[in-house]
Each structure stands twice: as C-alpha cells, then as structure tokens.
C-alpha cells in the first residue's frame, strides 16, 4: 500500500479510501482473523520511513500469562525530567503489535520529548476480555516502576492508546484508580471504542456506518471477538463509557475522527469526565478516518501531534521527582 499526502485536510478521507480501493484492500468485516492481521500489517507500507530517535530499546515486562513485549523510544536530551508515556496499539483487540505504531511513536517522542513505552498485549479471540485489559494494567504498573531506569520521571506518567489500545488505556486508568495503582497525569485516547457496538445509540454509528473503512459491522465483529458475552461487555473495564462515576480519573485529551462510527461515544466520554469534575479536552480531526494516527504524513496526524504536544506540556507531574510509585497488587497475576 503506497500513499502520498493529500493537499487539504478535508481530502484526507477520500484520498485514503481511493488508495485502498485501487489496491484491492478488502473490508475489515469480511476478513477472517488471520486475514485481518495481514491487512493491518499492510498499513505499515503506507507509513513512510522511520524518523530517527536517540535510542530504541526492546524489553519485556511481566504480564498475567507471561512476558509482554515493550519497545521504548527515547528522544534526544532536553532540559528537565521527561515524562513516561505508556502507549497501547490498536487493531480491534484482534490484530496489531508494537510495529504497527512504530512510525507514529517515533514522531511522538521527538515532538513531546517524552520517553514512550509501546506495550504489546495478548490478542483476541485467543485471549478475550478481561485478558488484554489485565495485560495493559500489568504493563502500566511494571513500566511506571521502571520509569527512572528508562530515563523518565517516575512522577510524570501518561497513558495513551489508539483505537482498541485507547480502550485498554482508559480501562487501565479506571483500574489504577480503583486499586490505588499508578496515577497518570494525563490519559490520551485516540479514536477509542468505549461502548459495545451492538445497539450503539450514538448518531455517528448511523451516519458513519459504512463507506469509511471502519464500519459499524466491523466494530460489531471486533467487540464480538473481544467480549462475546453481552453481560461482560457492559463491565466498565471492557466498556469504560458505561461506568457510573468518572470522578478521580486522570485528565483526558480525546482525539476523534470526523468519519468514524466511534466519534460520538468518544466525545461523550469526555463530557462525562467533565461532568464529574475531571478536565477533558476533545479535538475532532476534520476530514479524517479512524486510522489517521497510523499515517504520519497526513494533515490529521500532524494536527493531532500538536494537540498531544500541548497537552503533555500542560499536565505536570502528579508526584515530585523521586516520589515512590504506588505498588500494583496482583497486576501480573
């Protein structure tokens, strides 16, 4: 898959859709799981060359069922301590890995000056809810404990994710609040699925149901792969939007795409945070598809990068340098 940047932000969506159509990219809902993983992998061909960073480190952290892969991006030296940003990739809970977001996170590290730890997790349907959410929380706990070793400030933790990874990031924040775990200064949620797709009441699920790559049918399938039990799908760790209370969660930057079924539920999540006293900022990317964060040459990605850079700068550490991090009881068990 080869693409080149369109001239205007409003043409991002149509440009990418045309490129996918020309190259015979099938619909997400029609592919079986192995095909889906190959399709998501093909997106890497459209991401361009990797931007250099000062250092890339491959490591592992303990998870509930074994070691979880982590790729750490360390940008060049800057004055003062650097935040640790723990990131979870997307892929409908069933596809993707740390390679999928490599190009985007290199740029994010250089733009924000944060040390970025990109954490993998077990995929559905082989591992269904709550397994991936447990992996994400275990990774957050383990990486927070290793912040100083990774060159970051232990008191300045940020959690972020894209698509299904944003769902896991939100769930990890909720579990950390419930269990007294790491206290992020900020959560950054990029096109997050936060409520079950079946019978989803939000207008964008009707308005953007078809024709924009990430369809309603695709989201229904992804939710069925991840949480096949309808009752479990209403657990706030599976569907963070369905929680009764949002007080105490970290401040949020929520980035949405104009042409995405998930747009309205993500923006509602920010509204509920604000209702319960949690600062939240929504930035909708005009003309963008759900996958905009995976295509660094697009206008929407560059715009999102500026919003993230500003939010990271505006949310200081939650603990002074050297302050001990909370322990995560049973996170990797």
Residues marked as catalytic: 163, 260, 290
DSSP 90-124: -STTTS--TTTTHHHHHHHHHHH--EEEEE----T
Question: Cβ contacts of residue 139 below 8 Å, gap of 6+?
Answer: 61, 63, 68, 70, 86, 88, 117, 119, 121
The residue with tokens 């269990």 is 179
Measure Cα distances from 108 to 32, 118, 202, 312, 329 in Å: 32, 11, 31, 11, 31
Buried b (16+ CB within 10 A) or exposed e, 44-82: eebbeeebebeebeebebebbeeebbbbbbbbeeeeebb
Bridge-based pairing of strands 55-63 and 66-74 is antiparallel
Give the strand pairing for 186-190 and 157-162: parallel
The CA distance from 111 to 1, in Å, is 26
**Interatomic CA distance for residues 183 and 159, integer angstroms:** 10
User: 293: closest CA among 216, 188, 194, 152?
Assistant: 188
State how beta strands 84-88 and 115-119 pair.
Answer: parallel
Strand partners, 280: 252
- Here the tokens at position 138 are 């275990």
């Amino acid at each position: 898959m080869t693409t080149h940047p369109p001239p205007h932000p409003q043409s991002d969506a149509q440009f990418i859709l045309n490129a996918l159509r020309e190259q015979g990219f099938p619909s997400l809902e029609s592919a079986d799981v192995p095909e889906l993983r190959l399709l998501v992998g093909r997106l890497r061909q459209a991401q361009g060359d990797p931007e250099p960073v000062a250092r890339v480190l491959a490591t592992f952290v303990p998870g509930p069922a074994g070691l979880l892969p982590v790729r750490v991006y360390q940008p060049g030296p800057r004055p003062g301590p650097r935040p640790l940003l723990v990131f979870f990739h997307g892929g409908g809970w069933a596809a993707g890995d740390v390679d999928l977001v490599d190009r985007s996170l290199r740029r994010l590290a250089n733009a924000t000056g944060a040390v970025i730890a990109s954490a993998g997790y077990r995929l559905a349907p082989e591992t269904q809810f709550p397994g991936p959410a447990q992996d994400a929380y275990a990774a957050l706990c383990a990486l927070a404990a290793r912040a100083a070793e990774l060159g970051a400030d232990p008191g300045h933790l940020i959690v972020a994710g894209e698509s299904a990874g944003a769902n896991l990031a939100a769930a990890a924040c909720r579990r950390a609040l419930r269990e007294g775990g790491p206290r992020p200064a900020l959560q950054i949620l990029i096109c997050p699925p936060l409520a079950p797709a079946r019978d989803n009441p939000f207008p964008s699920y009707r308005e953007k149901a078809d024709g924009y790559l990430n369809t309603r049918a695709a989201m229904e399938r992804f939710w069925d792969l991840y949480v096949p039990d309808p009752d479990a799908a209403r657990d706030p760790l599976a569907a963070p939007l369905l929680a009764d209370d949002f007080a105490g969660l970290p401040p949020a930057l929520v980035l949405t795409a104009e042409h995405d079924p998930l747009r309205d539920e993500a923006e509602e999540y920010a509204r509920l945070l604000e209702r319960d006293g949690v600062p939240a900022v929504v930035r909708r990317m005009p003309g963008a598809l759900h996958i905009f964060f995976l295509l660094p040459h697009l206008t929407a990605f560059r715009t999102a990068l500026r919003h993230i850079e500003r939010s990271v700068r505006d949310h200081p550490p939650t603990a002074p340098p050297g302050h001990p991090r909370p322990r995560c009881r049973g996170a990797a068990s």
